[in-house]
């Protein structure tokens, strides 16, 4: 008699819902639930061998697959732990499939705590294995080994869809890296790495898998998901719950086919024509470095992309978007067979390059030229490799967005922009998910923020529902992007995600889900852009603004490299125009600079230059910067003999001053005695002298014809030093603070307003700096409440008061020192030259603090409602008041070489040579100097630092062009060369 599987008259919502959950659980009642029936037959592999890659200079990148397979592999058992952190271990797996598994699906299961790659015996990368979440072993059951979601691990690989019965031994190699998906933080994900970490190999097995059971598990999983996500007040949620309950009763009765039909009937009930569409775009955001070094990212790309290739072959509807030309280049170099497969899928428009940049760079700190190179090198790579340019700027995860992006994108044929990081803003919710973004020059670009607020969606009902409920532009657009796939540490889409997408493709109660390419999605959006609002200027992320300061050395090296590359390219361009250098040599130098730019661009990745990676990454970054600078120096040396005339005709050398800026530049230089042929005007130390020189724009002048400018002087009045040159008059007290600053010949004072204000500049201020969680990333608004001025008598700090060390006539220099704490100190020289319109502060800091923030403060008498900040190819203005929550949120902002407070007829600019963080409140401007976060790099910025900033008075709001020029001069010295000039 057929069993009655109808439901009882009264159904309890919670008990039924939990019944469904337990019936597909990985952990509960697996001996009797459906999950326990997924793998009917299983066994351990027959033989397992191990070999460890030697530590030292010979990393995995120096080994070929063939050289690895001939090593002495030793037999081992599962359960062993391997290390140390960042080491590599290879395993040889041999398995014989039992005869009675014929015509069954057969799967290989690899369960380890380290990331791994499966290789064929012929050396072809097959698929990545990911740790974390719940590891499923058919023999040993489920085991949670990480903090991630259950389906974030990838532990199985299909050996055969229908086993042929062959008795041939199957041989595979598996490469395991001793690190997790997110490194190996000692006390949490962003904690510094635990160097004592070990990584266990838990299971290596083969099994059969029941196709129908897998389908039913997925069906019930999605039905349960609808029930939970839609809630008890939703009609469709009740229908989903009852369908799942009915399926379970039917399965228990033994009628699996009927249970499958119940699910198919439910998912066959379609949406109406007006349903919102979510455009499903597979992606795998891989940080080029973060909690792991660059070398590990190269393997993450191969693990993730090989897994994606398999899914693209299995699911023809799937589209996969992939950014970062650098990562494509890495895979091409280290995994050519995988790259060939990817290239074919790119041609088929299934594996889709997006972004158009070399890496997903930081959106604020790189210079305008660096941004141009990011797009130039990225687009050139995609055009060369795949025959097409990217149309979408793809930057989902960075910490703010320059107002110059729309104009820069337009120069590279990019008209669309996608990101989601703005959803992280702490104070205000950005008012649009779709809008027209207008940049500094009026250029516009179509912008989209996926309303699911993530690029790591799992294809869950709650995510689809949130996408439409969260949409800020309801009624204006009919389609929203839905970016699915595991990211940051890699992984990408999974089979479970794609199976869920098939069931949710068009089911009543959820938005319509359609697989689309990014281009197809934006084409739909473009038809509706007439409905969209406009946003003008920068996209300011109200979080992670400590990244403008963390890892100060990296930011300094970046600035130095950017200017060095610029200057070197001007040298090479002049030589090329002169036509004296052989073409082959010229091209070789061009290639060398191209390679140097690639290294700098890589270090501009959005977790490297912001200072948010582990310490190991900065060892790599330092090396790349040094190599880039060495290349510029080599090319400059090669160019020098060709700059003036044929080196073969050279007779007598003469000292020449070269200016690479496009306007005349004056500077006081230090020269050796024997190198000077003009009047020596001031000693700079033993055998060295100061000389005032001028060179025309992108030109040169002889050192033998120096300037004789009006003298710079210093005097002591009322315990303060008065420094004066042809541009300014400045008063410095005995603690190094600027008490008065005036443009020469003017009566207005930057720091003093009669009867109302007496401010000071160059106040060194120390703040407590304890964020809520993201240590190297965040500085919170409340840190501004904790400031303590150090260079005052009342500070309690040990101060060596100001003394004169140079007294003119070309250079005046003061010097003083301060003990910040028992472990940190600063020495500062204050310098004014006869030809300089700004006062320079040169700092040497020995920094060993913990969660402190050092800034320099300029408390002026200026009444400025906005402050201007240097940006890429221009400047941005931000409010100095807190009228709105949007203004208040900008308590720490990004600027490049200068920032300025101005009234109509008087202004003050602060210039710098390597800093990016600023605060402007009322009449006060602060420049951020050093932070001391402890995660993810426990030694972030500990040690010695040298940097400079300058104070420039000027004639008010209309003088910003002069400020901009002076900032370039402050970052770009004149070059002194020896050549023959007639």
What does the domain layout of the chain look like in residue ranges?
13-39+212-268, 42-209, 552-644, 669-710, 713-971
List 720's β-bridge partners, or say none: 717
Tell me if residue 941 is catalytic: no
980 pLDDT higher than 80: no
Q: Are strands 699-702 and 713-717 parallel, antiparallel or unpaired?
A: unpaired
336-347 vs 325-334: helix crossing angle, rounded to 10: 130
**Cα 523 from Cα 533, distance rounded (Å):** 18
Average confidence (pLDDT) over 382-397: 98
Report the alpha-carbon distance of residue 293 to residue 619 in Å, rounded: 9
Q: How many residues does the chain have?
A: 982
Two structure tokens written together for 585: 């040599």
Distance CA 138, CA 375 (A): 48
Please tell me the distance from the alpha carbon of residue 486 to that of residue 457, in angstroms, as a whole number: 7
- Distance, in Å, from the CA atom of 614 to the CA atom of 635, rounded to the nearest integer, reads 33
CATH assignment of 552-644?
A: 1.20.1270.50
Provide the token pair at 652. 């007598």
Closest by alpha carbon to 493, among 298, 306, 221? Answer: 306
Domain 42-209, architecture per CATH: Sandwich (2.60)
- Assigned CATH topology for domain 713-971: Beta-galactosidase; Chain A, domain 5 (2.70.98)
Q: 150 in helix, strand or coil?
A: helix
CA 734 – CA 817 distance, rounded (Å): 11
Least confident of 141-145, 525-529, 717-721, 798-802: 141-145
The CA distances from residue 739 to 780, 796, 912, in Å, are 30, 21, 20
Output the average pLDDT for the chain.
94
Average confidence (pLDDT) over 447-461: 97
Crossing angle for the helix pair 615-639 and 552-578, nearest 10 degrees?
Answer: 20
Catalytic residue among 151, 397, 778, 941: 397
Query: Would you tell me how many other CB atoms lie within 10 Å of the CB of residue 272?
Result: 7
Q: Burial, 143: exposed, middle or buried (Cβ in 10 Å; 0-12, 13-18, 19+)?
A: middle
Report how far residue 312's alpha carbon sits from residue 320's, in angstroms, rounded to the nearest whole number: 8
d(CA 713, CA 744): 13
Residue identified by tokens 């709650």 is 462
Q: Residue 681 half-sphere exposure, CB side, CA atoms within 13 Å?
A: 25
221: nearest Cα among 196, 243, 252: 243
Per-residue pLDDT tens digits for 341-373: 999 999 999 999 999 999 999 999 999 999 999
CA distances to 134, 577, 586, 975 from 149, rounded to whole Å, are: 7, 60, 54, 57
User: SS3 for 303?
Assistant: helix
pLDDT tier, 386 (very low <50, low <70, confident <90, very high otherwise): very high
Do the bridges between strand 811-819 and strand 825-833 make them parallel or antiparallel, or are there none, so unpaired? antiparallel
The 10s digit of each residue's pLDDT in 495-509 is: 999 999 999 999 999
Q: Residues 497, 461: contact at Cβ < 8 Å?
A: no
Element (H, E) at 228: helix 211-230
Spatial separation of the C-alpha atoms in residues 300 and 200, rounded to whole Å: 19
pLDDT at 146: 46
Peptide bond into 84 cis (omega under 30): yes
Q: Which residue has the tokens 């004789």?
A: 708
The CB-side HSE value for 392 (13 A sphere, CA atoms) comes to: 24
Name the pLDDT band for 648 (thresholds 50, 70, 90): low
DSSP readout, 282-326? Answer: EE--B-SSSSS-HHHHHHHHHHHHHHHHHHHHH-TT--EEE--HH
pLDDT of residue 10: 64
> Would you say 855 and 927 are in contact if contact means Cβ atoms under 8 Å apart?
yes
pLDDT tens across 580-637, in order?
Answer: 899 999 999 999 999 999 999 999 999 999 999 999 999 999 999 999 999 999 999 9
Q: How confident is the model at residue 682 (pLDDT cuts 50, 70, 90)?
A: confident
Residue 523 tokens read as 């084409």
Q: 249 with 19: CB under 8 angstroms?
A: no
pLDDT band for 923, please (50, 70, 90 cuts).
very high
Q: Which of 911, 125, 876 lies closest to 536, judged by CA?
A: 876
Q: Cα(660)–Cα(666) distance, rounded to whole angstroms?
A: 12
Long-range contacts of 729-735 (CB under 8 A, 24+ apart): 730/832, 730/839, 730/951, 732/762, 732/802, 732/814, 732/830, 733/760, 733/802, 734/801, 734/802, 734/816, 735/791, 735/792, 735/793, 735/799, 735/801, 735/802, 735/816
The model's confidence at residue 704, banded by pLDDT at 50, 70 and 90, is confident
Split at pLDDT 50, 70, 90, the class of 153 is confident
Cα 837 to Cα 133, 488, 705, 965: the distances in Å are 61, 47, 22, 11
Give pLDDT tens digits for 826-848.
999 999 999 999 999 999 999 99
Nearest residue to 838 (alpha-carbon basis) of 725, 689, 750: 725
């Amino acid at each position: 008699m057929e069993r009655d599987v109808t439901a009882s008259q009264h159904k309890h919502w919670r008990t039924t819902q939990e019944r469904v959950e337990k019936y597909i659980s990985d952990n509960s009642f697996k001996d009797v639930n459906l999950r326990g029936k997924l793998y009917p037959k299983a066994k351990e592999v027959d033989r397992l061998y191990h070999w460890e890659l030697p530590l030292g200079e010979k990393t995995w990148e120096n080994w070929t697959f063939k050289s690895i397979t001939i090593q002495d592999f030793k037999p081992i058992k599962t359960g062993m732990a391997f290390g140390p952190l960042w080491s590599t271990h290879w395993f040889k797996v041999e398995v014989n499939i039992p005869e009675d598994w014929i015509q069954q699906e057969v799967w290989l299961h690899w369960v380890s705590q380290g990331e791994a790659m499966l290789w064929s015996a012929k050396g072809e990368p097959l698929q990545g294995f990911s740790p974390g979440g719940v590891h499923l072993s058919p023999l040993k059951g489920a085991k949670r080994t990480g903090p991630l979601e259950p389906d974030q691990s990838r532990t199985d690989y299909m050996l055969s869809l229908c086993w042929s019965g062959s008795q041939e031994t199957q041989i595979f190699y598996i490469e395991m890296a001793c690190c997790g998906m997110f490194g190996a933080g000692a006390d949490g994900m962003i904690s510094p790495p635990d160097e004592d970490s070990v990584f266990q190999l838990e299971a290596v097995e083969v099994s059969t898998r029941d196709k129908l059971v897998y389908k039913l598990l997925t069906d019930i999983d999605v039905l349960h998901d609808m029930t939970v996500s839609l809630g008890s007040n939703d009609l469709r949620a009740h229908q989903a719950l009852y369908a799942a309950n009915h399926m379970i009763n039917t399965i228990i009765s033994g009628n699996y086919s009927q249970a499958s039909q119940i699910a198919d009937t439910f998912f066959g009930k379609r949406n109406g024509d007006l349903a919102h569409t979510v455009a499903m775009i597979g992606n795998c955001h891989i940080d080029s470095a973060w909690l792991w070094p660059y070398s590990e990212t190269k393997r993450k790309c191969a693990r993730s992309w090989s897994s994606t290739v398999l899914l693209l072959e299995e699911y023809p509807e799937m589209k996969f978007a992939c950014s970062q030309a650098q990562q494509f280049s890495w895979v091409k170099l280290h995994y050519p067979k995988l790259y060939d497969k990817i290239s074919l899928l790119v041609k088929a428009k299934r594996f889709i390059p997006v972004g158009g940049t070399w890496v997903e760079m930081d959106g604020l700190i790189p210079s305008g030229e660096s941004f141009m190179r990011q797009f130039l090198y990225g687009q050139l790579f995609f055009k060369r490799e795949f025959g097409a340019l990217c149309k979408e700027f793809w930057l989902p995860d960075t910490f703010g967005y320059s107002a110059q992006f729309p104009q820069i994108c337009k120069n590279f044929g990019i008209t669309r922009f996608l990101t989601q990081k703005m959803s992280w803003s702490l104070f205000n919710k950005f008012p649009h998910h779709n809008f027209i973004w207008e940049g500094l020059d009026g250029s516009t670009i179509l912008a989209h923020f996926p309303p699911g607020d993530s690029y790591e969606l799992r294809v869950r009902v709650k995510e689809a529902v949130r996408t439409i409920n969260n949409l800020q532009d309801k009624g204006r657009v009919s389609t929203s992007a839905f970016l699915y796939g595991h990211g940051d540490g890699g992984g990408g889409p999974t089979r479970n995600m794609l199976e869920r997408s098939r069931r949710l493709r068009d089911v009543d109660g959820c938005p319509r889900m359609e697989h689309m390419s990014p281009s197809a999605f934006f084409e739909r959006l473009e038809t509706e852009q007439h409905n969209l609002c406009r946003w003008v200027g920068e996209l300011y992320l109200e979080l992670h603004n400590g990244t403008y300061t963390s890892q100060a050395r990296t930011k300094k090296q970046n600035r130095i490299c950017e200017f060095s590359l610029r200057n070197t390219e001007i040298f090479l361009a002049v030589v090329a125009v002169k036509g004296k250098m052989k073409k082959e040599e010229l091209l070789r130098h061009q290639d060398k600079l191209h390679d140097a730019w690639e290294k700098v661009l890589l270090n501009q990745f959005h977790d490297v230059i912001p200072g948010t990676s582990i310490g190991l990454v900065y060892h790599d970054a330092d090396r790349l910067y040094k190599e880039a600078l060495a290349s510029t120096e080599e090319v400059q040396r090669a160019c020098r003999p060709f700059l003036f005339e044929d080196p073969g005709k050279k007779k007598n050398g003469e000292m020449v001053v070269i200016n690479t800026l496009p306007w005349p530049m004056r500077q006081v230089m230090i020269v050796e005695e024997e190198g000077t042929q003009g009047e020596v005007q001031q000693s700079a130390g033993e055998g060295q002298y100061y000389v005032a020189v001028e060179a025309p724009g992108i030109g040169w002048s002889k050192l033998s014809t120096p300037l004789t400018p009006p003298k710079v002087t210093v005097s002591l009045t009322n315990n303060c030093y008065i420094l004066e040159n042809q541009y300014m008059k400045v008063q410095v007290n005995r603690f190094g603070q600027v008490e008065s600053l005036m443009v020469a010949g003017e009566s207005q004072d930057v720091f003093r307003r009669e009867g109302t204000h007496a401010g000071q500049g160059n106040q060194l201020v120390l703040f407590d700096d304890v964020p809520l969680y993201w240590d190297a990333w965040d500085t919170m608004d409340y840190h501004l409440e904790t400031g303590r001025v150090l260079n005052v008598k009342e500070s309690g700090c040990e101060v060596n008061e100001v003394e004169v060390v140079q007294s003119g006539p070309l250079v005046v220099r003061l010097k003083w020192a301060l003990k910040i704490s028992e472990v940190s100190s600063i020495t500062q020289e204050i310098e004014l030259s006869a030809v300089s319109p700004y006062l320079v502060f040169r700092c040497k800091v020995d920094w060993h603090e913990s969660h402190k923030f050092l800034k320099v403060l300029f408390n002026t008498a200026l009444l400025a409602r906005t402050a201007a900040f240097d940006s890429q190819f221009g400047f941005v203005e931000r409010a100095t008041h807190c009228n709105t929550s949007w203004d208040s949120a900008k308590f720490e902002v990004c600027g490049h070489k200068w920032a300025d407070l101005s009234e109509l007829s008087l202004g003050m600019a602060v210039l710098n040579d390597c800093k990016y963080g600023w605060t402007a409140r009322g009449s006060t401007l602060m420049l951020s100097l050093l932070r001391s976060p402890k995660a993810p790099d426990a030694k972030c910025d500990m040690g010695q630092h040298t940097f400079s900033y300058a104070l420039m008075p000027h004639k008010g709001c209309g003088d910003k062009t002069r400020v901009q020029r002076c900032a370039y001069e402050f970052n770009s010295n004149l070059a002194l060369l020896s050549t023959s000039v007639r």
